[in-house]
């Protein structure tokens, strides 16, 4: 349709697209730009180009240990969120649980309901029941946030699958558990895999729950950045941030390979 429009409209469209992309991606590009600065201060455009800030963060024990903590946490969260989320998604898809529509909404609610409420609550509960926050508390909070992502993508794939496959497997002698392993899980696998990568990304980037449940012993990378932001930001933040953005872009492409972004975004 756009081809049949006037030239001025086409030019306008191009300008509009550029403006949108500038607004949406600008801050991220700026961060990347700052990270390569040779100077001492955070400034854009960068004063000279250098990798000194990247060297700085790799040799900073604070950043490295925060990164390792985030990595460790993200891996464990991914595994648990994937297993828990896949099981829940399969059960929801089959629709035999009581009040399945309500249950579905409930499972997906952490995605829309204000996270401040449950994060506060988690802190309260934890300090009154257990005491000091720990790795386990962080795991709990992260997994609660990550599971809905796995459920969402797994359900999206399952909803387009052939509903007769499971019945066919049963007529071929597969009991209920075997049917799940040999038919349902292979069918849902792209959705589960995409969900796993989402979960990793969510956990690695997570700042809200981590903010509440942080303690001096456990600092995740985003929280490290946060504390740095509160004091004196220097270009090392930019370097860390750029690496994190790079990781996210990588994960987006992996998700697209595994599932296709369209199916997830739609």
Partner 1 sequence: MNRLRIDLFISAPGLLLLAVGFLVPAAVILVLGVRDADGAWTSVHLVRFLTDSFYLGIAWRTVKLSLLITAICVVAGTPLAYIMARGGPRLRLWLIVCITLPLMTSVVVRTFGWMVVLGRGGLVPDALKMLGLVNRNYTLMHTETAIVAGMVQVLFPFMVLSILGVVQRIDSRLEEAARVMGCSFLQSLRLVVLPLAVPGIVAGSLLVFTLSASYFITPNLLGGSRLPVLASSIYETATKTLDWQFAGAQSIILLIGVLMLLIVQAKLTRPAHG
Partner 2 sequence: MTAVHLDNVTKSFGGVQVIKGVSLSIKQGEFVSLLGPSGCGKTTLLRMIAGLEEATSGSIHIGGTDSTRLPPEQRDIAMVFQSYALLPHLTVLENVMFPLRMRKLGERAEQRERAEAVLELVQLSHLAQRRPRQLSGGQQQRVAVARAIVSSPKVLLLDEPLSNLDARLRESMQEELIQLHRQTGLTTVFVTHDQEEALSLSDRVVLLNAGVIEQEGLPDELYVAPRSRFAASFMGSTNLLEVELEPSGAGARALLPAGQSLLLGGEVRKRGKATVMVRQEDVRLAPASAGAAATATLVTRIFLGSRTRYVLDLDGHMIRCLAPADQLFDLGEKVSVLVQPDRIRVLAD
For partner 2, the binding residues in 21-40 under the rule CB under 8 A are none
Of these, 4, 99, 164, 232, which contacts partner 1 (CB under 8 A)? 4
Of these, 79, 165, 211, 254, which contacts partner 2 (CB under 8 A)? 165
Binding mask 120-159 for partner 2 (x = CB under 8 A): ----------------------------------------
Q: Give the CA dihedral 159, 161, 162, 168, nearest 10 degrees.
A: -110
Binding mask 168-197 for partner 2 (x = CB under 8 A): xxxxxxxxx-x---xx--xx-x--------
* 17 near partner 2 (CB under 8 A): no
* 216 near partner 1 (CB under 8 A): no
d(CA 50, CA 236): 12
What angle is formed at CA 224 by the lines to CA 223 and CA 229, rounded to 5 degrees? Answer: 90
* 206 near partner 1 (CB under 8 A): yes
* 25 near partner 1 (CB under 8 A): yes
The strand pairing partners of 37, in sequence order, are 49
Of these, 36, 54, 118, 200, which contacts partner 1 (CB under 8 A)? 118
Of these, 204, 214, 219, 239, which contacts partner 1 (CB under 8 A)? 204
* 99 near partner 1 (CB under 8 A): no
* 49 near partner 1 (CB under 8 A): no
Q: Which stretch binds partner 1 (CB under 8 A): 71-79, 114-122, 155-163, 188-196?
A: 114-122
d(CA 152, CA 92): 11
Considering CB distances under 5 to 8 angstroms, the limit depending on partner class, which of partner 2, partner 1, none binds residue 182? Answer: partner 2
Considering CB distances under 5 to 8 angstroms, the limit depending on partner class, which of partner 1, partner 2, none binds residue 231? Answer: none
d(CA 60, CA 177): 50
């Amino acid at each position: 349709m756009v081809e049949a429009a006037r030239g001025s409209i086409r030019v306008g469209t191009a300008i509009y697209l550029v403006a949108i992309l500038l607004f949406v991606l600008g801050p991220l590009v700026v961060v990347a730009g700052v990270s390569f600065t040779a100077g001492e201060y955070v400034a854009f455009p960068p004063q000279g180009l250098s990798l000194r800030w990247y060297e700085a963060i790799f040799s900073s024990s604070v950043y490295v240990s925060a990164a390792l903590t985030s990595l460790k946490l993200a891996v464990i969260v991914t595994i648990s969120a994937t297993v828990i989320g896949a099981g829940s998604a399969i059960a929801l898809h089959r629709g035999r649980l009581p009040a399945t529509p309500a249950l579905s909404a409930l499972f997906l609610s952490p995605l829309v309901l204000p996270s401040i409420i449950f994060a506060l609550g988690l802190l309260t509960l934890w300090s009154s029941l257990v005491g000091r926050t720990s790795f386990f508390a962080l795991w709990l909070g992260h997994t609660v946030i990550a599971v809905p992502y796995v459920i969402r993508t797994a359900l999206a794939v399952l909803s387009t699958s052939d509903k007769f496959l499971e019945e066919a497997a049963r007529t071929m002698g597969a009991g209920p558990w075997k049917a799940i392993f040999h038919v349902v899980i292979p069918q849902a696998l792209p959705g589960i895999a995409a969900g796993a990568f989402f979960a990793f990304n969510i956990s690695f980037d997570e700042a809200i729950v981590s903010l509440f449940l942080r303690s001096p012993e456990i600092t995740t990378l985003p929280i490290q950045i946060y504390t740095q932001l509160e004091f004196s930001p220097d270009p090392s933040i930019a370097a860390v941030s750029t690496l994190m953005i790079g990781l996210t872009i990588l994960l987006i492409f992996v998700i697209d390979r595994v599932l296709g972004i369209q199916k997830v975004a739609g």
